[in-house]
Amino acid sequence: MTEPAPHRLDLTGVRDRDALLRRCAEDLGFPDYFGHNWDALDDCLRDLMWWGEPPAVGWVIAVRGWDELCRELPESARVLGEILADAATHWRNQGVPLTVTLDDDEPRPHH
């Protein structure tokens, strides 16, 4: 089975929480109703239906600029990491893997 093309999230140059949420919405193609707060980010990552039917091997989110985000906005990086991990757990429980890669890492499940 082939790997699906990843959904790319580029966090390079993000310097505040609002810019981080805006970048997530733009890069991941969130619907117009996205509320630009942590709870809305969590809700959108648990829905993902606007991406269409999940591939048999699941979804992949490739994150760039993770190390930079951790240096510039450590608290926001912590919260984002928790939300991504919770979303991965949610989808795994639905039988659909959500794999998150950070920078140039090899794909791996984000737990």
Collapsing DSSP states into helix, strand and coil, what is residue 98?
Answer: strand
pTM of the model: 0.86
Residue 36 located in a structural domain: yes
Residue 1 located in a structural domain: no
Residue 88 located in a structural domain: yes
Tell me the pLDDT of the chain averaged across its residues.
89
**pLDDT at residue 104, rounded to an integer:** 54
pLDDT at residue 105 is higher than 90? no
**pLDDT at residue 110, rounded to an integer:** 43
Residue 61 located in a structural domain: yes
39-87 pLDDT per residue, tens: 999 999 999 988 988 888 899 999 999 999 999 999 999 999 999 999 9
Q: Are 61 and 103 in contact (CB under 8 A)?
A: no
Give the CATH number, domain containing residue 75.
Answer: 3.30.370.10
**pLDDT at residue 6, rounded to an integer:** 86
Residue 42 located in a structural domain: yes
Residue 107 located in a structural domain: no
Q: Are 17 and 75 in contact (CB under 8 A)?
A: no
**pLDDT at residue 54, rounded to an integer:** 86
> Residue 66's domain spans which residues?
7-102
CB count within 10 Å of CB 7 equals 16
Q: Are 101 and 108 in contact (CB under 8 A)?
A: yes
If we measure between CA atoms, which residue out of 54, 55, 44 comes closest to residue 9?
Answer: 44
Number of domains observed in the structure of the chain: 1
Residue 108 located in a structural domain: no
Residue 111 located in a structural domain: no
Residues of the chain above pLDDT 70, percent:
89
